[in-house]
Amino acid sequence: MSIPDPQISDPARPVIRQLDDAAINRIAAGEVVERPASAVKELVENAIDAGATRIAIDIADGGKTLIRVTDDGYGMSPQDLPLALSRHATSKIDGSDLLNIHTFGFRGEALPSLGAVARLSITSRAKGHDAATIRVAGGALEPVRPAALRSGTVVELSDLFYATPARLKFMRSDRAESQAISDVVKRLAMAEPSIGFTLRDVSGGGQGRVTFRADPLSGDLFDALHGRLASVLGREFAENALKIDASREGIRLYGYAALPTYSRGAAVAQFLFVNGRPVKDKMLQGALRGAYFDFLSRDRHPAAALFLDCDPELVDVNVHPAKSEVRFRDPGIARGLIVTALRHALAEAGHRASTTVGGATLGAMRPETPSASGAPRVYQMDHPSMAARGASYAGQRPADMPPSMGFAELSESYSGQLIDAPGPASPAGEDSVPGAEHLPLGAARGQVHENYIIAQTADGMVIVDQHAAHERLVYEKLKRQMAENGVAAQALLIPEIVELSENDCARLLEVAQELAKFGLGIEPFGGSAVAVRETPAILGAVNAAAMIRDILDELDDQGSSQLLQAKVEAILSRVACHGSIRSGRRMRGEEMNALLREMEATPHSGQCNHGRPTYVELKLADIERLFGRT
């Protein structure tokens, strides 16, 4: 029997090899640079870290053939250029404390990774040094050469992924890649109002066209941020956004969050930043949804731009190569701060509804179309004299009508009448109080189709959906009562035992006290099982096991659960719907005014329980424009 020679290696056994720098950089590029937008993000963040005040980004063919970032920052000396293209070389940190990071970049991977998969050139000039340029293509570094540049840095990236052709197959269309780049630049622009950004598409050569521009802003933090958000997200968001400024245990939250009636069909207008860094964090997004869940239906999403600032040691940004995820030392503080601050701001907004509601109403109105003959319209005088009006009315009055009777008495039972039934007036009625039209929702002037209240304000009119408005008022009253008295719990005759995994059991018991506030009583039953002893009485008969598993799913997805609260409040919402003023009920003038006054005094009355507006405000100038009185 032969014995194998131990000096002869086994051909089936894999051999450990040291990869060369080119292969390492190409692997790193797969983590750091996923698409052209990732490259733009890395280069623009480098420019911000370099103290730039203006950054210009030029792209061609969605960034596939050209990405050029020009800034007026500190620049680099000729001696620094080769080192900047070395792996894990950076000026951002010294490596002694990875928890005290104040810059966007700190890994030292972006530039060498880009140089490994594309053609990269860097031209830079630091104060007190001559300008120089360096080139690298597919990982092959060229020597430093003199260049002409006044100040700052110009980084030009061309033929992205030419050295790794397989990655090109995963690129999307030029339009999709350009849109992704635009989104990245806009997010960074929101975080830096004091820096000017210009994004230009130079596909096909020439000067190209500017697709995004944001000039640098100065002044107060909130004024500058509000102006930047108006240029990035649009004037409508800025007009309907609430200022947020709150702090808790070393974390500050500031920014702007939109009114519930200014919502979106998808979560595309939610921008979250941690220490100025754009992030996509499930916990923070879940907190944002949690703050709005009582004001929006399931298919609507809030719009917000929120910034969390804290000591770098309270948050770890070194958990993902793209630095798009963060990890808080105490995530509960950050989540609670977002929910509390947003709910406080929404409560302070009172009955306010978004201006887009009135704009959509005016857009739905259409003036009379021209006649088919093409004859010009004939308009009456804009402001006829009193004598002319009197003569006109007298000429139109029927022969058997007394001269003292006007048009208001012609009909006795039409939908638009404002009826004052006999009997004592309600103390809350404002119909007889002069000056009621100067209140936010004005004074009731009539009711149309037994569903909509028409009120006159000092500078326009308000149309109120009586059922939706009263439904919200009743709902808020029921919620206040529930908060004061708690949710009644119904004890189960035989506790229901739910078997869970050890992790799920521990996670559920951590929130047992919070669940008990809503009438769900659970306790450990030995091993990894829990016993459900009480359920919310208002829900009636429930499948406790299914509810427990749904709560666990929400905890796993969002880090918290509002499922039980949502179920309880859904019942309250249905109770409020059935207990509110029904459509088709004719209301007296004092009742309508009392409803308007209660709306003004009740938070969140600007939207119904499903997030729809309860009233529409139209300015007199806009109404006059519809009739050509401009």
Report the pLDDT averaged over residues 472-498.
80
Q: What is the DSSP string of 217-256?
A: --SSHHHHHHHHHHHHH-HHHHHTEEEEEEEETTEEEEEE
Last residue of a domain, one of 294, 324, 349: 349
Position 56 scores a pLDDT of 95
Q: How far apart are CA 614 and CA 470, in angstroms?
A: 9
Last residue of a domain, one of 315, 349, 383: 349
Strand partners, 536: 489
Least confident of 6-20, 158-172, 386-400, 590-604: 386-400
What's the domain count of the chain? Answer: 3
Task: Tell me the per-residue pLDDT of 12-60, one tens digit each, with 9 for 90 and over.
Answer: 677 676 666 666 656 555 556 778 998 899 899 889 988 899 999 999 9
166 shares its domain with 238? no
232 shares its domain with 210? no
Neighbours of 440 (CB within 10 A): 15
Of 83 and 579, the structure prediction assigns the larger pLDDT to: 83
| Joined tokens for residue 243 | 């200022």
| Joined tokens for residue 554 | 């929400």
Position 361 scores a pLDDT of 63
195 shares its domain with 286? no
Please tell me which of 146-160, 380-394, 523-537 the model is most confident about, judged by mean pLDDT: 146-160
Neighbours of 174 (CB within 10 A): 18
pLDDT at 176 over 60: yes
Of 503 and 56, the structure prediction assigns the larger pLDDT to: 56
Report the pLDDT averaged over residues 181-196.
93
205 shares its domain with 307? no
Residue 6 resides in a domain:
no
* pLDDT band with cut points at 50, 70 and 90 for residue 624: confident
Q: How far apart are CA 100 and CA 586, in angstroms?
A: 66
Q: How far is CA 622 from CA 235, 458, 525, 608, in A?
A: 18, 14, 66, 25
- Domain carrying residue 506: 439-630
Neighbours of 419 (CB within 10 A): 12
Q: How far is CA 499 from CA 21, 50, 506, 511, 555, in A?
A: 52, 56, 12, 17, 17
Report the pLDDT averaged over residues 279-301.
81
Residue 572 resides in a domain:
yes
Report the pLDDT averaged over residues 121-137.
92
Report the pLDDT averaged over residues 598-622.
80
Please tell me which of 73-82, 193-202, 621-630 the model is most confident about, judged by mean pLDDT: 193-202
| Joined tokens for residue 543 | 């499948």
555 shares its domain with 462? yes
Report the pLDDT averaged over residues 221-228.
92
Position 106 scores a pLDDT of 54
551 shares its domain with 447? yes
pLDDT at 423 over 70: no
Least confident of 56-60, 151-155, 607-611: 607-611
Position 432 scores a pLDDT of 47
Residue 181 resides in a domain:
yes
Terminal-residue alpha carbon distance, the chain: 109
Position 542 scores a pLDDT of 75
Last residue of a domain, one of 214, 247, 263: 214
Position 500 scores a pLDDT of 86
* pLDDT band with cut points at 50, 70 and 90 for residue 218: confident
188 shares its domain with 292? no
CATH code for position 519: 3.30.1540.20
Position 145 scores a pLDDT of 92
Q: How far apart are CA 143 and CA 134, in angstroms?
A: 6
Q: 148: helix, coil or strand?
A: coil
For residues 117 and 163, is the Cβ–Cβ distance under 8 A?
yes
CATH code for position 76: 3.30.565.10
Report the pLDDT averaged over residues 67-80.
91
Residue 412 resides in a domain:
no
Report the pLDDT averaged over residues 132-160.
90
Residue 4 resides in a domain:
no
* pLDDT band with cut points at 50, 70 and 90 for residue 429: very low
76 shares its domain with 36? yes
Say which residues have a Cβ less than 8 Å from residue 269's Cβ, sequence separation at least 6: 233, 237, 258, 301, 302, 303, 304
250 shares its domain with 177? no
Summary mean pLDDT of the chain: 77
Residue 420 resides in a domain:
no
Position 9 scores a pLDDT of 53
Residue 477 resides in a domain:
yes
540 shares its domain with 574? yes
Nearest to 32 by CA among 172, 166, 128, 167: 167
191 shares its domain with 280? no
CATH code for position 308: 3.30.230.10
Least confident of 150-164, 251-265, 611-625: 611-625
Report the pLDDT averaged over residues 201-208.
86
pTM score > 0.75 for this model?
no
Least confident of 84-98, 228-242, 530-544, 603-617: 84-98
Say which residues have a Cβ less than 8 Å from residue 291's Cβ, sequence separation at least 6: 257, 302, 338, 339, 342, 343, 346
Please tell me which of 190-199, 325-334, 358-367 the model is most confident about, judged by mean pLDDT: 190-199
* pLDDT band with cut points at 50, 70 and 90 for residue 296: confident
Task: Tell me the per-residue pLDDT of 351-391, one tens digit each, with 9 for 90 and over.
Answer: 666 666 556 665 666 555 554 555 555 444 444 555 555 55
DSSP 109: -
Residue 374 resides in a domain:
no
Cα 616–622–623 angle (5° rounding)?
80
Q: How far is CA 461 from CA 32, 194, 292, 448, in A?
A: 55, 40, 29, 14
Position 575 scores a pLDDT of 65
118 shares its domain with 241? no
